[in-house]
Amino acid sequence: MGKSIIASKNQPLVSRRAFVQRSGAGILGLGLGALSSATACHAEETGNDTFAIIHGPVVQSPGPGEVTVTWHTNRNASSKVLYGTDGQLDHTAVTSRDGLIPNDSTCHAVRLTGLTPGKPFQYRLVSREFKGYITPYVVNHGETVESEVFTCTPLDPAKEYFSFVMWNDIHDDSRRLEAMFNDISWDGVDFVVLNGDILNDFVAHERFFIAFYDSCARKFGAALPMVFVRGNHETRGPWARRFLDFVPGREGRPYYAFDHGGVHFLALDSGEDKPDDNKEYAGLVEFASFREAQTAWLRADLESEAARNARYRIVLSHQPPAPVGCDGFGCQEVRRLWRPLVNAAGARLWLSGHTHDFAWCKPGEDGDNVFHAMTNPPDATVRVDVAPEALKVTVLQKGGEVLHRETIPA
């Protein structure tokens, strides 16, 4: 990597590895005895508390006239969402898997479809406690709880002007995330990207809520869709294999594309950052085939009408395409597998994290790249203002100082 082609405008507060170890939130911080085994997809927050919705909602994974509403109860429940427009909750959506509505989880994720792009809709969460089977034909239900009515606006590919914001590498530090919520104007922001390593290893289900989910729910989660791009730290810990129960992605995959305001977005999952046979992974990962399958999906997606006809294409991946701030194995794989496809598709911008440092690489500064690529530090906000004539990118250091501005013409 030539320093002349990739500008690093600040020093990392703490190196990435030191940051992870110092946060006190990972295995080192908890102590091995604190690691619970995620043997079932539910959080036993039982006791004699009244049955209740205790986390959320957070709207996630936007698609064409679609969003997934997520929330969590303190005991197992079956759930549905009542929704509609103009205050009429005349539609009902449930989740079912192979015909069965889940009743064995405290995680609830219901996909709403058929929404009118850009038209606000209202929705109410409904959860009915499920206490168990008396016989296969007689079940024991508990109380039913209903939330207040929330309003959210589905994304709209035809919209001309909008903004989105991005944070990454929060590593469980929700106070830092909340402080950065206050660094920006939320006017015009239509969705929020969390670009990986928001958790500092998924060691306990409570960590998910403490690290960011509750903060997001309080600030924007009911009203603005959240796009969560999985990082390498979300793949670690006993709850990592339940991650999709908490962050459902789309169609059972953590990666997907979505369209808004003339932009075709690609939310990619770069997986782990070392080879699968690294001793850290104990023979329990297979990201090589995962990335290969994703490459085939990406190739097909970029040939779609939505991708080809969009004014801009923007890529989101936790690990950047090497050498943008990173030459590690995962970044090299991102470069090897996805960079040629993204380049050929004429993407304008590729936003990443992972390195805990700021870097910006303009078109042509890394060979034949046609896109701008950047890595955002853990203590900075990226705001992108999208207009037909240009993308305006502002990177704000925590506290509000401008770290970088870039205007990318259409």
Stretch that binds Fe ion, among 216-224, 227-235, 357-365, 401-409 (CB under 5 A): 227-235
DSSP letters of 161-195? Answer: -EEEEEE---TT-HHHHHHHHTTS--TTEEEEEE-
- End-to-end Cα separation, the chain, in angstroms: 28
Angle at 253 between CA 320 and CA 195, to 5 degrees: 35
CB 103 within 8 A of CB 129: no
In terms of CB distance, is 229 or 263 closer to Fe ion? 229
Q: How far is the CB of 334 from Fe ion (least distance, A)?
A: 12
DSSP helix/strand/coil, 151: strand
Contact flag: residue 171 with Fe ion (CB under 5 A): no
Whether omega for the bond prior to residue 363 falls within 30 degrees of 0, making it cis, is no
Stretch that binds Fe ion, among 160-168, 191-199, 281-289, 327-335 (CB under 5 A): 191-199
Q: How far is the CB of 10 from Fe ion (least distance, A)?
A: 18
Stretch that binds Fe ion, among 38-46, 280-288, 291-299, 346-354 (CB under 5 A): 346-354
Contact flag: residue 231 with Fe ion (CB under 5 A): yes
Contact flag: residue 376 with Fe ion (CB under 5 A): no
Q: Binders of Fe ion: how many residues, by CB under 5 A?
A: 4
Considering only 55, 354, 372, 383, the residue that binds Fe ion (CB under 5 A) is: 354
In terms of CB distance, is 145 or 203 closer to Fe ion? 203
Q: How far is the CB of 112 from Fe ion (least distance, A)?
A: 31
Q: What is the DSSP letter of 210?
A: I
Residues 6 or more apart from 384 whose CB is under 8 A from it?
Answer: 163, 164, 165, 166, 314, 349, 351, 391, 392, 393, 394
Stretch that binds Fe ion, among 134-142, 229-237, 297-305, 341-349 (CB under 5 A): 229-237
CA distance 60 to 82: 17
Q: Which two tokens stand for residue 211?
A: 């690290």
Contact flag: residue 232 with Fe ion (CB under 5 A): yes
Stretch that binds Fe ion, among 56-64, 129-137, 322-330, 349-357 (CB under 5 A): 349-357
Q: How far is the CB of 378 from Fe ion (least distance, A)?
A: 10
Segments in 210-267 forming alpha helices (H) = 214-216, 243-246
Q: How far is CA 162 from CA 67, 118, 259, 315, in A?
A: 18, 11, 12, 17
Q: How far is the CB of 231 from Fe ion (least distance, A)?
A: 5
Stretch that binds Fe ion, among 226-234, 261-269, 377-385, 393-401 (CB under 5 A): 226-234
CA nearest to 315, candidates 396, 390, 370, 246: 370
Contact flag: residue 197 with Fe ion (CB under 5 A): yes
In terms of CB distance, is 233 or 348 closer to Fe ion? 233
Length of the chain measured in residues: 410
DSSP letters of 87-108? Answer: T---EEE---BTTB---SEEEE
In terms of CB distance, is 70 or 232 closer to Fe ion? 232
Contact flag: residue 325 with Fe ion (CB under 5 A): no
Contact flag: residue 378 with Fe ion (CB under 5 A): no
In terms of CB distance, is 60 or 232 closer to Fe ion? 232
CA nearest to 406, candidates 396, 397, 393: 393
Q: How far is the CB of 169 from Fe ion (least distance, A)?
A: 6
Q: How far is the CB of 270 from Fe ion (least distance, A)?
A: 9
Q: How far is the CB of 328 from Fe ion (least distance, A)?
A: 9
Minimal CB distance to Fe ion: which residue? 354
CA distance 26 to 172: 9
Residues that bind Fe ion (CB under 5 A): 197, 231-232, 354
